[in-house]
Amino acid sequence: MQRSNLISRPRFLLAIALLLAGGHAMAAPLATQVLQSGWQFHLAPDSGTAKSHPEAAEWRAATVPGSVQTDLLAAGVIGDPFYRDNEARLQWIGLADWDYRLSFKVDAATLKREHVELVFDGLDTFADVSLNGRKLLAADNMFRRWRVPVKGALRAGDNRLEVRLHSPIARLLPWLLKQPYALPGEFDSAFGDEPKGKQTANYIRKANYQYGWDWGPRYVTLGIWQPVKLESWDRARLADFHIAQQHVDADAAELRAEATVQADQAGKAQLAVSWTAPDGSRHDATQEVDLRKGDNTLSLPIRIEQPQRWWPVGYGPQNMYRFEATLSSNGEALASAERGTGLRSVELRRDKDAWGRGFAFVVNGVPMFAKGANLIPFDSFPTRVTQDGMAQILRSARDANMNMLRMWGGGHYQSDAFYEEADKLGLMIWQDFMFGGAIPPYDEAYRENTRIEAVEQVTRLRDHPSIVLWCGNNEVQTGWEAWPDREKFRQSISAEERAKVEQGMKTLFGETLRNVVHQYAPDVPYWASSPSTDYEGAANKLDDGDYHSWSVWSGSKPIEDYLTSTPRFQSEYGLQSFPVMATVRAFAADDDMSPNSPVMRAHQKFANGDGNDRLLLYIRKYYGEPRDFASFVYLSQVMQAEGIELAAEHLRSTRPQAMGSLYWQLNDVWPGASWSSVDYFGRWKALQFHARRFYAPVRVAAIHREGHSDVFVLSDRTEPFQATLRSRVMNMEGKVLRERKQSIKVASLASTKLASPTDAELLHGADPRKTFAVYELLDSKGVLLSRHLLFVQPPIALQLPDPELKAELRDNGQGMVLEVSAGRLAREVWVDFGRLDATVEDNAFDLLPGEKRELRVDSRESFDALRGALRVRSLAGATQPVMEQKP
């Protein structure tokens, strides 16, 4: 949650000051003293858990930004929170109060400044702050910045800063147990620290997922989780600099440079704004302004002809402009700031049509089918996330042909670096406000706390062109309307109280947060809840708004159920899988390697560990009984990949009825079973490799249902093009039974149905257990654009032969190359190097009989080590023979 730096730029200021003032002395710029080194922490002596954990009582070195849990881990007081079942043994940390302290020096020059402020960019979460024995602050919101004047409390020389962090559970639970009811929350604690149905998370502005979710552990963190600094300044402070985009099209961008200035006195001043375009050209504008004492919002209109616009990935370049602002008075530069942004228009188009009311993102006038996934926090402990690790996950999304990620509302707002990377990669961000599904309190103080949080976050993030939607919450409305526990709760309270709860939600999400977005980022649409119809009706409707589809997996429906409905925009749906064995071995011992061992259940959060039985249900239905635990892990990924592929291709095939596919979920907060396609360590699962194919800009898709197959060409290209569709029917030994070619014109931004053969028309009497169709799309030069293998029988019914897989790793002088070949059909070929980390160019792919592929392999491991660890497998042999399978 680090804020965009409003950068003091002494050399730039000096040049401007000399130019404008003819050599007048320059006012000292804003000075920042970062308070990062030297922190200590310990378990508060008066905390309820102090006697049972004396090992945490002594003062130890602390890391800021950080958390109590990560500091204890670094000090060797606790073991790895993610290893085996350590989670249960570490719950005491979140139930205790903790002290942090820092001794730091302040020089006399700082104390002579007119203003000195202590700034906490983020405190987690109930925190009392004192400086030299004087109480400064009682924080109560993880997502807010806290700025306090401290000139009167500072001393020249040594100073002592102290922070007491209170357990949110220990603080709130005694109060909650006295209330007439507890609002419905999300997931009850599995560790007995809160009674079932009495969840304190609803009542605090803190990341919901840290209380445990159905894909992550319960680690209720405490800490100074964002940077701390002293800021000193004179006369004026430029608190914010923003480029408001009033209208942007191909001809011109009508902008407004806005500067928020805190001034000590009224007077004349000059606001100068210069900017550098993506092509390197520079421009400037100036305006005389009248400052009043106190807060000022200054505005300077800017018009850019033929703007070099920012585009989502796949539609054009990710052009960024760099703007610089300088505030001067009487030729003396007072403050400066700089800001990067991309110029683009965003519309959430909701036209009425034959299917109801649409839901489509339109950027720069181009309607875009949103292809992507939901994003959760990158770690249970946010401060452990590195910029490189975060960027790797975002690059994984782009490399899988995604163009949108939904930043889910049960986590926390991401760092500036995250959104800068999304800007650079061209990834559209659907940004939820941080509400994960629990019913919020309706009191005014809670709503005002949230409003200030929203103002700060929208203001911080509004110049990022990647953000194309602000959404009030995740599943609050649909949960209230449709979930059994909410229904039971509604019946348990009076009609008057029920009306207050309902009105509180509508006011918060329908008015308060909407008004913040409309006021501070009016160029970006607002949406009240996901899923919803923006409070224009009931939530989770197929013919209006966005839709969360959970009949498959949560409802145990067959995967084919995805084909029975077509929402306008499917913003959640998913199937689980295990991560690769290298990741499993990182959290489990050899004795844990069975689906329902205590440790595997501890790392399976769906249905309190019973999710592994759900996995087995789908694996057995579609593939058979896994031969061993490694096969169970492999088959879970194949099932997930093929199931989500079916759903995604169905959604893309119905364009423009459906205009979005965001599966649940892209990433993980820890290593374990989940819906992710990229695991905690950044390793791609089979689904991520499949996504790169089913989200490709041009895709041929053949969807089988009820005895026939519909064949589509899906195109995100903005221009039509000529192509050839080649279709073959062959057996698994490679004999081609029929072949056909047809020239087609592929429509732009569309799904085009090309054929709809029945099974009989397709196979002409061939055995469906041993026969399949291959659809290939080739461009005008014969280059293969897309391939799709169609089977009219489920995988469990296929008589897959031994594919005679061969794999050879070699060094071609420019790097390592793996050659993989198959004598017969090989389904879902998986290349693995055991415990060694290596990135393979492609994986989870099919090989036609006699086909050979060369794949790049990148790794820091030696060639000999990789060659020794290499393993290649396919669906053939992954299950027990029929006679060995359990009934």
The two beta strands, 428-432 and 467-471, are parallel
Residue 788 lies in a domain: yes
Are residues 665 and 562 part of one domain?
yes
- The domain that holds 55 is classified in CATH as 2.60.120.260
Alpha carbons 61 and 42: distance in angstroms, whole number = 9
Whether the pLDDT of residue 24 is over 70: the answer is: no
Whether the pLDDT of residue 383 is over 60: the answer is: yes
Closest among 800, 776, 802 to 789, alpha carbons compared: 776
Average pLDDT over residues 283-293: 96
Residue 578 lies in a domain: yes
- 714: number of Cβ within 10 Å: 24
Average pLDDT over residues 30-45: 97
Q: What percent of the chain has pLDDT over 90?
A: 95
Alpha carbons 868 and 45: distance in angstroms, whole number = 54
Alpha carbons 558 and 497: distance in angstroms, whole number = 40
Are residues 438 and 321 part of one domain?
no
Q: Tokens 């719950």 correspond to what residue?
A: 91
- Yes or no: say if 828 and 846 are a contact pair by the CB < 8 Å rule: yes
Confidence (pLDDT) at 1: 42
Residue 463 lies in a domain: yes
722 forms beta bridges with: 745
* DSSP three-state, residue 447: helix
Whether the pLDDT of residue 323 is over 60: the answer is: yes
At residue 582, what are phi and psi to the nearest 5 degrees? -60, -40
Q: Tokens 């489990």 correspond to what residue?
A: 588
Confidence of residue 881 (pLDDT cuts 50, 70, 90): confident
* DSSP three-state, residue 872: strand
Average pLDDT over residues 465-491: 98
Are residues 434 and 538 part of one domain?
yes
Average pLDDT over residues 634-647: 98
Alpha carbons 713 and 37: distance in angstroms, whole number = 58
Closest among 346, 341, 337 to 304, alpha carbons compared: 341
pLDDT digits (tens, 9 = 90+) for 130-181: 999 999 999 999 999 999 999 999 999 999 999 999 999 999 999 999 999 9
743 forms beta bridges with: 724
Confidence (pLDDT) at 331: 87
Helices (H), 93-203: 108-112, 168-177
Confidence (pLDDT) at 9: 35
Are residues 377 and 458 part of one domain?
yes
Q: For residue 512, what are the CA distances in angstroms to 446, 448, 505, 612? A: 12, 9, 10, 41
Average pLDDT over residues 210-215: 98
Closest among 380, 318, 375 to 344, alpha carbons compared: 318
Which of 752, 771, 797 terminates a domain? The answer is: 797
Alpha carbons 328 and 274: distance in angstroms, whole number = 14
Residue 775 lies in a domain: yes
Average pLDDT over residues 805-831: 96
Q: What angle do CA 234, 238, 239 make, to 5 degrees?
A: 115
Are residues 615 and 536 part of one domain?
yes
Whether the pLDDT of residue 4 is over 80: the answer is: no
Which of 316, 341, 366 terminates a domain? The answer is: 341
Are residues 107 and 54 part of one domain?
yes
Confidence (pLDDT) at 48: 85
Length of the chain, in residues: 887
- The domain that holds 756 is classified in CATH as 2.60.40.10
Are residues 579 and 492 part of one domain?
yes
Confidence of residue 813 (pLDDT cuts 50, 70, 90): confident
Q: What percent of the chain has pLDDT over 70?
A: 96
Residue 56 lies in a domain: yes
pLDDT digits (tens, 9 = 90+) for 462-477: 999 999 999 999 999 9
Q: In whole numbers, what is the pLDDT of the chain averaged over residues?
A: 95
Residue 268 lies in a domain: yes
Give the burial class of 782: count Cβ atoms within 10 A of its Cβ; 0-12 exposed, 13-18 middle, 19 or more buried.
exposed
Average pLDDT over residues 95-119: 97
Residue 199 lies in a domain: yes
Are residues 689 and 704 part of one domain?
no
Give the burial class of 326: count Cβ atoms within 10 A of its Cβ; 0-12 exposed, 13-18 middle, 19 or more buried.
buried
Annotate 684-710 with DSSP letters as a single string.
Answer: B-HHHHHHHHHTSSEEEEEEEETTEEE
Average pLDDT over residues 669-696: 98
Name the residue range of residue 59's domain.
Answer: 35-229
Confidence (pLDDT) at 883: 55
Whether the pLDDT of residue 11 is over 60: the answer is: no
- Yes or no: say if 127 and 164 are a contact pair by the CB < 8 Å rule: yes
Confidence of residue 27 (pLDDT cuts 50, 70, 90): low
Are residues 172 and 41 part of one domain?
yes
Are residues 381 and 506 part of one domain?
yes
Run of H or E including 117: strand 115-120
- Yes or no: say if 648 and 552 are a contact pair by the CB < 8 Å rule: no
- Yes or no: say if 465 and 343 are a contact pair by the CB < 8 Å rule: yes
Which of 661, 694, 727 terminates a domain? The answer is: 694
Are residues 686 and 704 part of one domain?
no
Q: For residue 715, what are the CA distances in angstroms to 9, 360, 590, 700, 781? A: 47, 16, 47, 9, 18
Whether the pLDDT of residue 711 is over 70: the answer is: yes
Residue 148 lies in a domain: yes
Confidence (pLDDT) at 526: 98
Alpha carbons 235 and 129: distance in angstroms, whole number = 27
Whether the pLDDT of residue 5 is over 80: the answer is: no
- The domain that holds 546 is classified in CATH as 3.20.20.80
User: 192 in the Ramachandran plot: left (φ > 0), alpha (ψ -120 to 50) or beta?
Assistant: left
Are residues 219 and 116 part of one domain?
yes
Domain count, the chain: 5
Instruction: Provide the token pair at 7.
Output: 């950068």
Confidence (pLDDT) at 13: 35
**pTM of the model as a whole:** 0.95
Closest among 459, 483, 479, 480 to 470, alpha carbons compared: 459
